[in-house]
């Protein structure tokens, strides 16, 4: 085994260890509230502000200026704000909405492949997709000694940034308002129910 291979194996081992500690920390949280600013080619030039709230085991809330999406164990609803339209749907067949499932899977199966220190002392964790059919990588930036990311960046196969999420608010184990997960009131004609009888 060459020195380069040894260095890569060592970096992978450190990445695995750090990733496991982040996952363990997220698993310990009964609830989490996040505020973020998303930038990238698919977002407005000034970025897009959003808010996530997760209540273990099965409540998820995601709000942006254009829409709100919420899912609990028995209902999924979406509010299209400009149209003032509420869509009611059956929940998706997933076991839980949890901090680790949302932040570490990011709609794909990921594994840690690299861990390095940034020039300002931040810790940078690189994640790659398990499947070769999924392109690109994800980079998570953490302040030194912390297990909550301050930035999540999606990078394509050419090494270019596709989108980046700056974490502006991170509240752990907070008492979330239960009304967050209740569908808002809209005019009756603007409520569309897609749920199975």
What's residue 4's pLDDT?
Answer: 39
Q: What is the pLDDT of residues 8-29, one digit of tens each?
A: 444 578 999 999 999 999 999 9
Q: Using 50, 70 and 90 to split pLDDT, how confident is the model at 5?
A: very low
Residue 56's contacts (CB-CB under 8 Å, 6 or more residues apart) are 29, 30, 31, 96, 97, 98, 99
What's residue 107's pLDDT?
Answer: 62
> CA-CA distance, 44 to 151, in Å (whole number)?
18
Q: How many CB atoms lie within 10 A of CB 115?
A: 20
Query: Is pLDDT of 2 > 50?
Result: no
What's residue 134's pLDDT?
Answer: 76
Supply the range of the domain harboring residue 113. Answer: 3-193
CATH number at residue 22: 2.50.20.10
Query: Is pLDDT of 61 > 90?
Result: yes
Cβ 132 vs Cβ 116: under 8 Å: no
Q: What is the pLDDT of residues 71-111, one digit of tens each?
A: 998 999 999 999 999 999 998 876 567 787 788 766 667 88
Domain count, the chain: 1
The kind and range of the H/E element at 68 are strand 67-71
Cβ 61 vs Cβ 53: under 8 Å: yes
State residue 4 phi and psi, 5-degree precision. -65, -40
Cβ 150 vs Cβ 166: under 8 Å: yes
Cβ 170 vs Cβ 34: under 8 Å: yes
Q: What is the pLDDT of residues 130-183, one digit of tens each?
A: 877 778 899 999 999 999 999 999 999 899 999 999 999 999 999 999 999 999
What's residue 99's pLDDT?
Answer: 82
Structure tokens at 186: 């809209």
Cβ 127 vs Cβ 145: under 8 Å: no
Residue 194's contacts (CB-CB under 8 Å, 6 or more residues apart) are 87, 88, 89, 90
What's residue 106's pLDDT?
Answer: 63
Q: What predicted TM-score, i.e. pTM, was given to this entire model?
A: 0.87
């Amino acid at each position: 085994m060459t020195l380069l291979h040894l260095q890569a194996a060592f970096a992978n081992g450190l990445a695995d260890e750090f990733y496991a500690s982040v996952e363990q920390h997220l698993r310990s949280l009964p609830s989490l509230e996040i505020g973020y600013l998303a930038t990238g080619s698919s977002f407005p030039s000034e970025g897009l502000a959003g808010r996530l709230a997760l209540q273990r085991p099965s409540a998820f809330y995601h709000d942006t200026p254009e829409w709100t999406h919420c899912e609990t164990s028995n209902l999924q609803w979406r509010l299209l704000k400009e149209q003032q339209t509420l869509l009611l749907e059956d929940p998706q067949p997933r076991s839980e909405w949890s901090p680790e499932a949302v932040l570490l899977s990011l709609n794909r199966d990921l594994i840690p492949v690299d861990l390095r220190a940034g020039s300002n002392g931040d810790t940078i964790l690189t994640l790659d997709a398990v499947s070769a059919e999924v392109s690109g990588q994800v980079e998570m930036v953490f302040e030194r000694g912390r297990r909550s990311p301050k930035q999540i960046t999606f990078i394509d196969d050419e090494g270019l940034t596709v989108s980046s999420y700056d974490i502006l608010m991170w509240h752990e184990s907070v008492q979330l308002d239960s009304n967050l997960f209740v569908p808002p009131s809209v005019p009756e004609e603007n409520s569309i129910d897609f749920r199975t009888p």
